[in-house]
């Protein structure tokens, strides 16, 4: 194994290859690789072994053998500092991350960068189809949160796929995907769990991927853990076997931990059978109605179209077109959950869809 | 709007048919517009090559409505779309 002596603060100028041992200030770090199979698009992460799994909370169930030939490589580099990009970069947006720190997205020469001062910097290079994640010790935890989702979303968009905020359920008989859209905190997880408990299968409750191949639109769910709120647990006592003590009002539960309680779907890509827009709860009963596609798309875009000071960028415009094509090709219904989510049966949804199809 | 005006979708707008209407995105502001099937039919013919008069003739042939009513309605629609920056006339 080659030993490379490097000067302090010089990590980022050395190419990183799996299996290389680098020495820095007396510490050795093995460079390893982690790969993910995103349905024909293979992503690899190369770098410091301690953070190599930073995408696992999102993509862990899609891990592939580390000798997989990959289409896009993310290189991890731990740095002593992360400084702002060059002044000539075009600022696309800036905002505080949900985790707290201020973030800015720059773009220059087809390289888009998410920058969080003193924490991390993630870049997406459309020319070389690669990414670099530079992080400080302070940023090591933060790269696993919103930043990881941003990075994945940008990489997917660069390859014609779109990461959307929504749940992905599977109608078992037809093996078609059912997309459920609703803003955070409005009952999407509760509804998805209810449907997966009674007749459907759950592929993901919070993020799904929309992609088009041969003029057909496919969906697949991101198999990340579910954040189960205490209110959801109160409405669904059958969740208790997978829940621990409530230290906060949310618990993260791995998707496969729910396997004995709900039907879990594979991560396969599937054609979309319907789109459900979750509306405000109904005080008396579950209500499912046809929804016009124009109304449905306004709900979806309000939660999934990123607008910046300069408007909507090329990725956003492409996502807009993809979502429109999805709706043009599928049924759209609205669902208002009644007071007892446990009584929501998938047959109510499939029955509404069949009825809607007969009248359309 | 004159019959001889060439109409095109603004460079700051993008339009997608949904089947039961259409949706328009102003890319410079992020503003979303939804429209009915009549507007959808109109926008589908707006391609930067046809004049307003040619578009009207095609719509008269496609819809069971008298020409005067359609002309008045589409003229009003076109004025609104120009005001919103969705189409431009040259």
Q: Which domain holds residue B43?
A: 7-84
pLDDT for A306 equals 84
Mean pLDDT of A265-273: 94
pLDDT for A186 equals 87
Mean pLDDT of B69-81: 91
Q: Are strands A130-135 and A72-78 parallel, antiparallel or unpaired?
A: parallel
Alpha-carbon torsion (A297, A302, A304, A305), positive or negative: positive
pLDDT for A79 equals 87
Asked whether residue A244 carries a pLDDT value surpassing 90, the answer given is: yes
Asked whether residue A322 carries a pLDDT value surpassing 50, the answer given is: yes
**Which residue on chain B is closest to A326 by alpha carbon?**
B18
For chain A positions 327-346, those within 8 Å of chain B (CB to CB) are 327-328
Closest CB from A298, A317, A325 relative to B32: A298
- CATH classification of the domain holding B69: 3.90.930
Which are the contacts of B16, defined by CB distance < 8 A and separation ≥ 6?
A320, A321, A324, A325, A328, B22, B23, B24, B25
Ranges of beta strands (E only) in A38-80 are 42-48, 63-64, 72-78
Asked whether residue A199 carries a pLDDT value surpassing 60, the answer given is: yes
The whole-angstrom distance between B21's CA and the closest CA on chain A is 6
| pLDDT tens digits for range B57-66 | 999 888 888 8
Q: Cβ contact (<8 Å) for A317 and B25?
A: yes
Residue ranges of domains in chain A, CATH in brackets: 3-159 (no CATH), 163-359 (3.40.50)
Q: pLDDT band for A359, please (50, 70, 90 cuts).
A: very low
Q: pLDDT band for A21, please (50, 70, 90 cuts).
A: very low
B23 inside domain? yes
Q: Cβ contact (<8 Å) for A312 and B25?
A: yes
Between A7 and A217, name the one with better pLDDT: A217
Q: Provide the total of helices (H) and of strands (E) in chain B, helices listed first.
A: 3, 5
Asked whether residue B75 carries a pLDDT value surpassing 60, the answer given is: yes
B55 inside domain? yes
The whole-angstrom distance between A321's CA and the closest CA on chain B is 7
Q: Cβ contact (<8 Å) for B34 and A294?
A: yes
- Indicate the number of domains in chain B: 1
Mean pLDDT of A139-150: 91
Closest CB from B12, B21, B30 relative to A294: B21
Q: If you compute the radius of gyration of chain B from its CA atoms, what whole number of angstroms results? A: 12
Q: Cβ contact (<8 Å) for B32 and A293?
A: no
| DSSP per residue, A320-351 | HHHHHHHHHTSEEEEEE--S-GGG--HHHHHH
């Amino acid at each position: 194994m080659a030993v490379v002596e490097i000067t302090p603060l010089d990590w980022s100028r050395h190419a990183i290859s799996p299996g290389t041992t680098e020495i820095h200030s007396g510490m050795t770090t093995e460079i390893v690789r982690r790969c993910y199979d995103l349905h024909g698009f293979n992503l690899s992460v190369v770098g410091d072994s301690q953070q190599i799994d930073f995408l696992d909370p999102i993509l862990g169930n899609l891990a592939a053998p580390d000798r997989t030939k990959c289409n896009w490589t993310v290189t991890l580099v731990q740095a002593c500092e992360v400084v702002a990009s060059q002044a000539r970069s075009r600022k696309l947006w800036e905002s505080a991350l949900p985790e707290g720190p201020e973030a800015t997205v720059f773009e220059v020469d087809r390289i888009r960068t998410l920058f969080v001062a003193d924490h991390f910097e993630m870049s997406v290079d459309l020319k070389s189809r690669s990414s670099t994640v530079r992080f400080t010790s302070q940023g090591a935890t933060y790269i696993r949160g919103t930043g990881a989702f941003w990075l994945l979303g940008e990489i997917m968009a660069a390859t014609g796929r779109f990461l959307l905020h929504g749940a992905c359920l599977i109608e078992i008989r037809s093996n078609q995907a059912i997309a459920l859209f609703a803003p955070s905190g409005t009952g999407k997880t509760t509804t998805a769990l209810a449907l997966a408990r009674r007749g459907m299968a759950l592929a993901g409750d919070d993020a799904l991927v929309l992609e088009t191949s041969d003029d057909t639109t496919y969906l697949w769910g991101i198999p990340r853990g579910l954040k189960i709120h205490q209110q959801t647990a109160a409405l669904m006592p059958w969740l208790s076997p997978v829940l621990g003590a409530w230290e906060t009002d949310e618990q993260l539960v791995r998707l496969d931990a729910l396997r004995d309680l709900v039907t879990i779907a594979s991560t396969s890509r599937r054609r979309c059978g319907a789109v459900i827009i979750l509306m405000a709860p109904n005080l008396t009963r579950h209500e499912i109605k046809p929804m016009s596609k124009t109304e449905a798309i306004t709900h979806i875009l309000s939660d999934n179209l990123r607008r910046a000071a300069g408007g909507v960028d090329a990725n956003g415009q492409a996502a807009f077109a993809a979502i429109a094509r999805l709706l043009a090709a599928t049924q759209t219904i609205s669902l208002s959950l009644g007071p007892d989510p446990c009584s929501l049966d998938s047959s109510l949804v499939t029955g509404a869809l069949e009825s809607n199809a007969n009248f359309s | 709007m004159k019959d001889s005006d060439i109409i095109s979708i603004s460079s700051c707008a993008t339009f997608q048919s949904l089947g039961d209407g259409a949706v328009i995105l102003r890319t410079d502001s992020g503003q979303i517009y939804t429209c009915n099937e009549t507007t959808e039919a109109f926008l589908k013919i707006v391609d930067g090559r046809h004049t307003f008069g040619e578009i009207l003739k095609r719509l008269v042939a496609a819809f069971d409505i008298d020409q005067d009513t359609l002309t008045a309605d589409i003229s009003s629609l076109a004025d609104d779309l120009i005001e919103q920056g969705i189409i431009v006339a040259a």
